[in-house]
Amino acid sequence: MNSEEFKSIWLPLSGRFYRVAFYILESQEDAEDAVQDLFSRLWKMRDSLGSVKNPVAFGITVIRNICLDKIRSKQANRTIKPAPEVFESVPDPEADLNASLIGKQNLEKIRSCMARLPDKQREVLESRVFKGLSFQEIANRTGMSEVNVRVKLSNARKNLKRMIEHEDD
């Protein structure tokens, strides 16, 4: 495939690829980087692109995989705080009274937001964070598939974050 064919077939699809990347990554910069990475990969494999019957489907599959790789690499680089440090705020007796009150308020805010989560999301979040159960163990206890457990956990975290941020406003 020469550069003119590449431009005429693939470049008009860049808007679709960007929207998919933005939907997954929720960041303009990350989505732009993902689309740039996509076109770099496509250009490197341009000689074999002639056999692609559906460029839209092929491109969306590749951009989705690029986005998932970006998310995984961010999660791997992120430092994870143990659950007791994040969710249990036990004030130090010698600590400043103001800091103690803020810690209690934050804990109460988290607890009240968790109580408003849908039952399955709350159950999965509590099992994973407080009990430290694996996805397989949670799936066995709830009767859901592992994939469904991961989705429920992700949704629970997003909803909890959204609720906490909303209460701060």
0.75 exceeded by pTM: no
**pLDDT computed for residue 61 by the predictor:** 92
Q: What does the mean pLDDT of the chain come to?
A: 82
Same domain flag for 128 and 90: yes
Q: Which domain holds residue 51?
A: 3-77
Same domain flag for 55 and 11: yes
**Interior CA angle at 88 toward 85 and 90, to 5°?**
95
- The whole-angstrom separation of Cα 66 and Cα 95 is 46
Same domain flag for 64 and 25: yes
Same domain flag for 90 and 73: no
Same domain flag for 98 and 160: yes
Same domain flag for 161 and 112: yes
Same domain flag for 73 and 142: no
% of the chain surpassing 90 pLDDT: 30
Task: Tell me the pLDDT tens digit for each residue of 38-55.
Answer: 999 999 998 888 888 999
What CATH number is attached to the domain comprising 107?
1.10.10.10
Task: Tell me the pLDDT tens digit for each residue of 72-82.
Answer: 888 776 655 55
Task: Tell me the pLDDT tens digit for each residue of 109-139.
Answer: 777 788 888 888 888 888 887 788 888 999 9
Distances (CA, A) of 83 to 69, 126, 155: 25, 10, 18
